[in-house]
A and B are shown apart, each in its own frame.
Chain A
Amino acid sequence: MRHHRVLRVVSKFLIPFIMLFGLYVQFHGDFGPGGGFQAGVIFAAAIILYAIVFGLDHAIKVAPPRIVTKFVAIGLILYILVGVASMLLGGEFLNYSVLGSTQQGGQHLGIFLVELGVGITVAATITTIFYYFAGYRGLGDEGKE
């Protein structure tokens, strides 16, 4: 991709906006279409675009697989922790009303954290899947580039 100057310049310009849009969709899922899944996919698309245009090695320096694979689990754990926290505070599993001082406040907090967990897991999983597809070297041809 060294010779595709237009692609490199335009994607360098666009990738921060894509990530920002992903964050926007994540946190405005309450007021319009959006939510965890869409935001996770958009965020992963930004990283995939970077990997396609600039090479997998540069993308691995930016988002190292060791850390990204940990995030796959962190989102799911966050979701479960919200449920366990509501159990500890007196309600049933995943009953958000007990998380805040009012019922609506608790629900807002619960929905916020749960969507964040879903978004983190989805973004990390799609990035991980892409890394493993793009970095696959085959069983018999190591040393071939």
Chain B
Amino acid sequence: MNTILAHYNYWIVILLMMLGFYIVIAQGNLIKKLIGLNLFQTSVFLFYISLAKVSGGTAPIFDDRFNTFSNPLPHVLILTAIVVGVATMAVGLALIVRIRDAYGTIEEDEIDRLDEMP
């Protein structure tokens, strides 16, 4: 019971991660796959930021009134990761537009079928 209560954040984050992962691999629509990837990325960010929290601390901005701060290093890493995530999403959406123009559909199995035809 103590283990469950001590890590409550992490259990829910793993659930969200697995939901996003399932959407990526099980859904056939390309846009839904991309949104599932976004979900997965955001839950990974949540995981890292949960690692960074220090109980009794505050945001890592120096001030005379506080002397315990949350861990700032994962914040920096996740800042980079968020922007990289949006860059990936923009390129992915551009690819979806071109795939639609080339194949006429954005469903994965129809694209496979069109590819197998000579």
Contact = CB atoms under 8 A, between A and B. Distances in A.
B1 interface: no
A129 B95 CA distance: 13
Contacts of B12: none
A13 interface: no
A118 to B, nearest CB: 9
B59 to A, nearest CB: 8
Interface in A81-139: 122, 125, 129, 132-133, 136, 138-139
Interface residues of A, number: 13
Contacts of B59: 33
A32 B83 contact: no
B61 A32 contact: yes
A37 B94 contact: no
Contacts of B101: 138-140
B25 to A, nearest CB: 27
A133 B97 CA distance: 9
Contacts of A139: 101
Contacts of B97: 133, 136
B83 to A, nearest CB: 5
B51 interface: no
B93 interface: yes
B29 to A, nearest CB: 19
Nearest to B83: A37
18 contacts: A31-B61, A32-B61, A33-B59, A33-B61, A37-B79, A37-B82, A37-B83, A122-B83, A125-B87, A129-B90, A132-B94, A133-B93, A133-B94, A133-B97, A136-B97, A138-B101, A139-B101, A140-B101
Interface of A: 31-33, 37, 122, 125, 129, 132-133, 136, 138-140
Interface of B: 59, 61, 79, 82-83, 87, 90, 93-94, 97, 101
